[in-house]
Structures are given as C-alpha cells and as structure tokens.
Amino acid sequence: MPGPRVRFAPSPTGFFHVGSARSALFNWFVARQSPDGYFILRIEDTDADRNREEWVDGIVSAMQWLGLNLDQGPNRQSDNAPAHADAVARLLAGGYLYYCDCTGDDVQARKGDNKTPGYDGHCRNRGLSKSEKTGIRFKTPQSGSTIVHDLIRGDVEFQNTVIDDFIVAKSSGVVLYALANVTDDRNDEITHVIRGEEHLPNAPKQMMLWSALNEVTGDNVALPVYAHLPLLVNEQRKKLSKRKDPVATESYRDQGYLPDAFVNYLALLGWSPDGDEEIIPLERMIKEFRLEDVSHSPAFFDVKKLSHINGEYIRKLSPEQFIEISAPWVRPWDSAWQPTDREVPWTKEDFNTELFAKVAPLVQERIVLLGEIPAMVDFFFHDQPVMDDAAFNKAIKNDIVAQQMIKAAITRFADVTWEAATLHEEVAALGEGLGLVLRKAQAPIRCAVTGSLVGPPLFESLELLGRDNTIARLKKALELAT
Ligand code: GLU
C-alpha cells in the first residue's frame, strides 16, 4: 500500500481563506505522519477570468509561513490541459458525454412552473456533434444512488436522479472543475481527497467521472478516500463571510500572529487530541491527528481564542527569539519580509537596538500580537512622546491634582536613585501625600512620559528611559497643561 498521497488544490481567486489554510494543514498532517506520505500543491487555475497571479503568490508564501512544506508543486492545473482534453475525448467516444446547446433561458422556458433545479436532459439523445453555445455534459445515471464513503461524515447517499447532467467542458474547450480535478487526482495518484464540506455535493459527480474514466481508459484506478472538513462559522454560527469576517490568512500574518500559534489554532478547528489542552506541540499534532476523529459539526472560528493562544506562544519564546521574531514590526529594514500597510513609527536612526532588547521582555509579557509592539514602545525612540490628546486631557490637563503630582515628581526625581523599585516607592509616597492611590498617582506620569495611558510597566520603563529624559517630558507636559 503506497503511503498517503494528498493534494491541496486551491483556486487562486482571492486572499488565502483561513478555511483553505485549515484544509492545507490537515492534508499536510496526513502526509507527514507516514514515512512515505506525499503532499502536492496544485493550483487550480483553469478559470482564467477569476485567477490572478498575486493570489498564487499569496497561497505559496502563506504556506511557507505556516511551515507546510511540499513534496511537489506548486503545480499548475492549466499545464494539464492536454490530459483534460484527452479525458473528454475518451469519455465522448465511450458515450458518457454529449453536446448541448441549450441556454439557461431555453431550459427555463421548457420547465415552466416546474421548479426541479438543474438541467432537464433535453440534448441527451439529440446526437449533436458539436455545440457553439453550451458545451459538453455528462450523462448521469438515471436510477440508483451513489454513496460517498466519507471518513468524517460516514456514508452519504445521493440519489442519482437528483444529480443533473452537469457540464464537464465549455464550448470554448475549457474543461471545468469536476473533471479537471478528477483527471489530475488520477494522474497524481491521490489516495485521500481532504477538502471543505462545500465540495461534498461534488463528490458523487466526481465518483461517476472516476468510474467512467476507469472504463474508457481500462486503468482501474482506485477511488480516493474522501474526507470533507466541517464548515467554519462565525460567532453568529453563520458561514464565515468573505466580506464581513476576517478570513484572509495573510492579514493574520500582518497583525503578528505566530505561525506556530496559527497552526495550533487551525488544527483545533474540527479536531482535538485527547485531553483538553489547547497548546499542543506540532510533533504531537502530526502524530495524533486522525481524519476519523474530525468532527462534522461546524467549527467556530474564534479570533479571541486564536489571540489567546498567540499570547501563550509569545510568552513561551526566549527573549532572544522574541527580539528576532519581532523584527518585521520594529526594524523592518533588517527583515526580508514586511507586514503590509504597517509603518514603523520611528526611523532607522532613531531606533536603538540595545534599548529595544532591554524593553522587549517587558512587552513580551503584555501583548497578544506582535503588531502591538510599535505603539507600546514608540515613546522610547522619540525625544518627546506622541501625545494621545484624549488621554492628556483626561489625565493631566483637566486634573489639577494630577498636575501637582507631576510637579512633585519633577522635584523628587532630580536626586532619587534611578532604579525601578525606588521610583515605584517614591511615586507611591508622593501620591499618598496628595491623597492618590498608586494607580491614580501613576497615570499622569505615564501619560506625560509615554503619551498614553496604557503601555509597558511604568517604573521599569522610566529606569530605561533615564532621569534627564523623564524629567524633560514631565516638564513639557506641565507646560502644555498650564
Ligand atoms: N479548486 C477547488 C477549490 O479551491 C478544490 C477542490 C478540491 O480540493 O477538490 O475549492
């Protein structure tokens, strides 16, 4: 028995959907858990009107990002056009196909009030030898049923009478999805077809094509095993919408999700190992993953849970790894890849690598996305912070006691030991003198120094920023407020 040969076969018609990323991952798991597993990336690019090269690049680079290495590909389905044409010729000669020149309107007019969906078989016995209009259809059996043995959903039975004579090739000669896909799966010797649930209704058609091809070629190629992965839904339990839900894998990369965390989360969309852990090492997922254990109920794509997992992965990095992995967001000039539409708020000259290395551990504890880093540490790399006006008005300008706090700090900070623990004690004591709890005493200082009311731990930040710089900022804020 040859090792599983699987393929991921996306059509490059848009961003790399998170559902596609999950299909790619589950295929990859199946290939990687066997010593002779084989994973092919096939770009199904025969629909020239809808395909764009940039979407192919997006798929390839996102798969690299996720670490889904290939044994073959990216192959182009369009390169297999001769094999597709050959399949059509053989099926035609074998009597499995027929030409049809009905337009949709023709079919509608014939049907009248009859609401049966699909084609009515009008041309099935007309013996046309070509069609300038519609193309070529498959003669679906008119009785019996086709059972898809699906590893996830069990046996799913389709009555052949409800499957209409579907089009396999357009009059232009372009072979459509169902047959192109089956022809390539046969040629690639695919053993497992693992794909989204939306393709389940295609499976009986493809099984019919498969056995017809076995007949006309004399090659008795075994049918692949099917596994249709559960739908991904949003919080309202509705199918993820391309327009309304954040479905582009590329955007998760841009926001600073870690590939390991993203893979971990994708794996949990329909599957989970024994036990209730959420953070699962990759090796263990590869070893334990079983298509039979994938659930057929819709899986909720929960960005909050994904973010939580991402935060956990960030926390697990060593400080050195964290500094390295944050490069695209903080020093893009040192990084081969940069996130789209994100400008770092400082220049290469203003950035200070040693200082960032000291600040990094403070930040690592507090973020869930790498993309949050710039806004948190921005104030270190400018003479004065970029002030958030709303924060300034609230915490300083409209608060007399806060201004007194800043004044007191300016005086006190001039000769205190410049070290986080002491600064902490001093601010607490000054606050107490003014009747302020620590949180209230800190707020104006944080705002004056960092320009914001949220950020890394304050006293450690002050220590790193230095006495002169801190005092200059406190003075400037006071000046602006009065
Ligand atoms: N090209 C199809 C898609 O992108 C793939 C279907 C399959 O995996 O068979 O949905």
Listing DSSP states for 111-156 in one string gives HTT----S---TTTTT--S--SSSEEEE---SSSEEEEEETTTEEE
Distance (Å) from CA 10 to ligand 1 centroid:
5
pLDDT at position 471: 98
- Are the C-beta atoms of residues 169 and 176 closer than 8 Å to each other? yes
pLDDT in tens, 174-222: 999 999 999 999 999 999 999 999 999 999 999 999 999 999 999 999 9
In single-letter form, the type of residue at position 379 comes to F
Other Cβ atoms less than 10 A from the Cβ of 207: the count is: 19
Is pLDDT at 441 greater than 80 in this prediction?
yes
- Are the C-beta atoms of residues 265 and 309 closer than 8 Å to each other? yes
Mean pLDDT calculated for residue range 285-293: 97
- Looking at the DSSP bridge assignments, the partners of residue 6 are 39, 192
Distance (Å) from CA 11 to ligand 1 centroid:
6
* Residues classed as catalytic: 242
Probe residue for ligand 1, chosen from 6, 7, 11 as the CB with the greatest number of ligand atoms within 8 Å: 11
pLDDT at position 132: 87
Distance (Å) from CA 198 to ligand 1 centroid:
9
- Spell out which residues line ligand 1, taking CB within 6 angstroms: 9-11, 44, 181, 193, 195, 199
Query: In percent, how much of the chain has pLDDT > 70?
Result: 100
23 CA: nearest ligand 1 atom:
8
Residue nearest to atom 10 of ligand 1 (CA): 10
The DSSP secondary-structure symbol of 176 reads P
pLDDT in tens, 261-287: 999 999 999 999 988 899 999 999 999
**Token pair listed for 247:** 């479905």
- Are the C-beta atoms of residues 90 and 217 closer than 8 Å to each other? yes
Residue nearest to atom 6 of ligand 1 (CA): 9
The HSE-up count of residue 23 (CA atoms within 13 Å, CB side) is 30
Q: What's the rounded Cα separation, in Å, for the pair 243 and 247?
A: 8
Q: What's the rounded Cα separation, in Å, for the pair 184 and 206?
A: 12
pLDDT band at 1 (very low <50, low <70, confident <90, very high): low
pLDDT in tens, 29-81: 999 999 999 999 999 999 888 888 889 999 999 999 999 999 999 999 999 99
Is pLDDT at 313 greater than 70 in this prediction?
yes
DSSP symbols for 348-414: TTT--HHHHHHHHHHHHTT-SSGGGHHHHHGGGGSSS----HHHHIIIIIT-HHHHHHHHHHHHHHT
Q: What's the rounded Cα separation, in Å, for the pair 167 and 101?
A: 11
Lowest average pLDDT, out of 51-55, 123-127, 400-404, goes to: 51-55
- Are the C-beta atoms of residues 225 and 195 closer than 8 Å to each other? no
Lowest average pLDDT, out of 34-38, 45-49, 365-369, 376-380, goes to: 45-49
Per-domain residue ranges for the chain? 317-381, 389-481
CATH topology of domain 389-481: Arc Repressor Mutant, subunit A (1.10.10)
Residue nearest to atom 4 of ligand 1 (CA): 10
pLDDT averaged over every residue in the chain? 96
